[in-house]
Amino acid sequence: MLTLQCLREERDRVLDALAKRHIDATATVDQVLDLDAKRRATQTELDQVLAESNSLSRQIGGLMREGKKAEAEEVKAKTAGLKAKTGELKDAMDAAEQELQVLLVSLPNTPCGLVAAGKTPDDNEEVFRSAEPQAAGGAAKPHWDLAKEHDLIDFDLGAKVTGAGFPFYKGQGAKLQRGLIRFFLEKADDAGYTEFIPPHMVNADSGYGTGQLPDKEGQMYHMQEDNLYMIPTAEVPLTNIYRDVVLQAADLPQKICGYTPCFRREAGSYGKDVRGLNRLHQFDKVEIVQVTHPEESYATLDTMVDHVKGLLEGLELPYRILRLCGGDMGFTSAMTYDFEVWSAAQERWLEVSSVSNFETFQANRLKCRFKDEDGKNKFVHTLNGSALALPRIVAALLENHQDDQGIVIPKALVPFVGFDRIGG
RNA sequence: GGAGAGGUGGCCGAGCGGCUUAAGGCGCACGCCUGGAAAGCGUGUUGGGGGCAACCCCUCCAGGGUUCGAAUCCCUGUCUCUCCGCCA
């Protein structure tokens, strides 16, 4: 959520930035500023009435103590009408505040200066590309065939037991999952991230804190009975650790990570690129999260990008990095880098990681602050990144590292999975 | 699921409907004292909002209610703890 202060002081900059998302927020922002002014005027008036009411009550208290009952009754008469008035003003305040909140929550984050104004994924800027993918020349088998051939993943069984998009991993396929998770967690540990195993369900406050609610309500599985949400990413429980927290400047940066399964309804995307591991309702992911000083966050974003690069290089996969354009960026992000790996059989790029700086957008909702040099509480910046999401990595590993007999496991991964090839 | 107890500042811990605009202690910060320190003394120490400012308002788990006045009384919710039941 954008801060009121920012809208008040930098209205034009905010509007320009939001224009990169192809949103004309002029009407909304001006309405916010109008409501804000109204709210403040009402508050001033309310404060005056409350001050008078408090003062009279104190007088009555004093008189009662001295036993001057008649005089107390006289003062009491003066309080008539004050209550109705405070009630009215409070209602006006609440109404203005609620309206304000609805509008504020509807505004996405402002893209940072480097972000281009494009509209579609085609307008994303490629900022890095690894060694060229090998031209398979149509010989490469798709991962769903390889998975079946080597009995690694059973999609039909998942469909029977749960539904489409919930596969079973078997034998070496299961070991590969477990090995990849360990590989990613060890690398995060080496980079100084503290590991957490968070809950896989969260309450509505947490969903709101990281921005899934109310914007993406329909994308999460909801347990109606207990009003809990299955996490769509570890970002939600991990970042919400910092909800309602005031940190010391010396505590920054906070670096944490965690492995969780992720649950996504993917409503509205049926039939689109859903073959094999391309799009699942449940998948595994290791997430890295940092909470930083506002001046450090973009340098931190670069180190997180480097971390993910290191992982993909360890897996010897061809990949590229995109800086998302305004039109393709998530609601809460100020800048996002997407990582895509090459699918040798599908002959297209698959997104495997998204690394974002949210600046104060989440911190404002989370009320996560730190005490700055002057002892004042200021909002931190939050960042996160997938490091990494498993299914498409598995797809790319199978497709890119296949040979005549089976699949070669990249050297760096061998100690974690416990074998150096599948098949053959 | 049943029964009971309880949520007060950074922490501990008092709190009779009005001298509580939250006692006292610990911790922390600053100052005095000291050759330096400890002790001692003094001052400050939740967060949010309004006002150019003096200052004012809100904040004792959350939301309602009673009252001129609520940390205190009533209702609802929530979380924690103890016991019983069930259970990996």
- Rounded to whole angstroms, the Cα distance separating A121 from A109 reads 18
Mark the nucleotides of strand B covered by protein, meaning any atom under 7 Å from a CB.
Answer: 18-19, 21, 47-51, 56-58, 68-69
CATH number at residue A388: 3.30.930.10
Same domain, A139 and A91: no
Helix (H, G, I), strand (E, B) or coil at A229: strand
Between A416 and A89, where is the model more confident? A416
| Tokens encoding A81 | 């009408």
* Angle, vertex CA A82, rays to CA A81 and CA A87, nearest 5: 100
Same domain, A336 and A394: yes
* pLDDT tens string A59-92: 888 888 777 777 888 888 888 888 888 888 888 8
pLDDT at A137 exceeding the cut of 80:
no
pLDDT at A64: 81
Residue with tokens 């609440």: A94
pLDDT at A131 exceeding the cut of 90:
no
pLDDT at A136 exceeding the cut of 60:
no
ipTM over 0.90: no
pLDDT at A65: 75
Same domain, A257 and A347: yes
b/e sequence A344-369, b meaning 16+ C-beta within 10 Å: bbbeebbebbbbbbbbbbbbbbbebb
Contacts of A55 (CB under 8 A, 6+ apart): none
Same domain, A134 and A220: yes
Residues 375-414/A with CB < 7 A to strand B: 377
Total domains in chain A come to 2
Residues 251-290/A with CB < 7 A to strand B: none
User: Domain for residue A114, yes or no?
Assistant: no
* pLDDT tens string A206-229: 999 898 988 788 899 998 888 889
User: Domain for residue A113, yes or no?
Assistant: no
pLDDT at A326 exceeding the cut of 90:
yes
| Tokens encoding A71 | 């005089």
Same domain, A133 and A81: no
Structural domain including A228 reads: 121-422
Same domain, A382 and A328: yes
* pLDDT tens string A342-375: 999 999 999 999 999 999 999 999 989 888 877 7
User: Domain for residue A395, yes or no?
Assistant: yes
Residue with tokens 């309405």: A31
Same domain, A100 and A224: no
CATH number at residue A21: 1.10.287.40
pLDDT at A193: 97
pLDDT at A271: 64
pLDDT at A73: 82
Distance of CA A209 to the CA centre of its chain: 9
CA of A204 to C1' of B1 (A): 25
Same domain, A54 and A162: no
- The mean pLDDT value of chain A amounts to 91
User: Domain for residue A112, yes or no?
Assistant: no
